[in-house]
Structure 1
Amino acid sequence: MTSGYPTATTEDAVQANIVAAGYTTSTGGNPQQGVQIVGGQSGRCVDVPNGSTTNGTQVQLWDCGSGTNQRWTYTSGKQLQVYGNKCLDANGQGTSNGTQVIIWDCNGQANQQWNINSNGTVTGVQSGLCLDANAAGTANGTKIILWSCNGGTNQQWSLRS
């Protein structure tokens, strides 16, 4: 054990690791983990309904708020984590149009790995399919599914601190 205060170099290294892990800070407020995933067509956020932590809960669009159920951390393993231990997951390791996008305990499998692409799409590593607001829906409660990428704005997403 050491005594005294950390050096500036040590503090900088710790801060760099926190930022790399997906933590963001805002001026005048408390640090918040992760980012919101905002639909290009709807302006709504990818949301875990009612703050559920139950495996198999399908994610949806909902008005963006300050809850941790809308805060996602993109990891070096290409996982999108919520609550620190649940991952965005292609249900049943699905690779077909209409596969539900759910949360599940993080396990490192390919159905929990995602590419965040420069064209605004988020694609499944295993399936190659896009995150999609079902039926081009924009209302609160619209379910998120996987669908063949087609350039639609219901498949466009931005990350917001």
Structure 2
Amino acid sequence: MALGSRTAAAVLGLGLALTVGVPTAGASSSRPYPDVISLGSNTGHCLEIALGDRTNGATARQWDCWYGTNQRWSVAAGPAGSLVNVSTGKCLEVPLGDHNNGTTVRQWDCWGGPNQKWDWTHIPGAGYTLRNADSGKCLEIALGNYSNGAPGRQWDCWSGDNQDWFPLG
């Protein structure tokens, strides 16, 4: 079994009970996981804002999961469909109007725009894809990049392992 597959299986196994159904913003009873989650990826890392940087425009990146507040995302604290970083209080977004593959995702003050909304789609036997409501592209880590610090970015949705995300409570 390849490293990526083993990592995916481990993350999936840990979060299996958390990955049933389609997440939506709003009442926690509509989600099969808590209001505050860490987003684990097939790389075995979690999506974070570095050291809780509160600057608008700070890049979201992957790092070893340690479940600090900079790796925790609230699905209930902000506008519907948003992911709010617990440490900074800012929303995960793609720069408004940027529909280019490879554009890095970042945090910004929450304002409820479509570039800050993420549509979750459950992938049976895997995790979820997170599609940006403005660009229509999916959140991913560059294919094959297992390094701490690799940025989150948007890319055409293609159901690749690097676009699978797992809500970890």
Tell me the TM-score normalised to structure 2 length.
0.73
Q: Deviations over 1:29-84 (max 9, x none)?
A: xxxx71000102x0110010121111100111101113111111113610001137
Counterparts of 1:1-161 in structure 2 under 5 Å? 19=28, 24=34, 34-40=36-42, 42-75=43-76, 77-83=80-86, 85-119=89-123, 120-161=128-169
Secondary structure, counterpart of 1:136 in structure 2:
coil
Who wins on radius of gyration, i.e. which is larger? Answer: 1
Q: Which aligned runs of 4 or more in structure 1 are off by greater than 4 angstroms?
A: 17-20
Q: Does the C-alpha gap of structure 1 residues 95 and 19 become closer, same or farther in structure 2, counting only changes over 3 Å?
A: same
Aligned-residue sequence identity (percent) comes to 33
What is the CA distance between 1:149 and its match in structure 2?
A: 1.1
Structure 2: runs of 5+ lacking an equivalent: 1-25
What is the CA distance between 1:135 and its match in structure 2?
A: 4.1
Q: How far, CA to CA, are the matches of 2:106 and 2:156 in structure 1?
A: 18
Secondary structure, counterpart of 1:91 in structure 2:
coil
Structure 1: runs of 5+ lacking an equivalent: 1-16, 25-32
Q: How far, CA to CA, are the matches of 1:93 and 1:79 in structure 2?
A: 17
- Code of the residue aligned with 2:90 in structure 1: it is K
Aligned residues: 136
Secondary structure, counterpart of 1:77 in structure 2:
coil
What is the CA distance between 1:105 and its match in structure 2?
A: 0.4
Comparing 125-134 with 75-84, which one deviates more in the overlay? 75-84
- Code of the residue aligned with 2:65 in structure 1: it is C
- Code of the residue aligned with 2:63 in structure 1: it is W
Comparing 128-137 with 75-84, which one deviates more in the overlay? 75-84
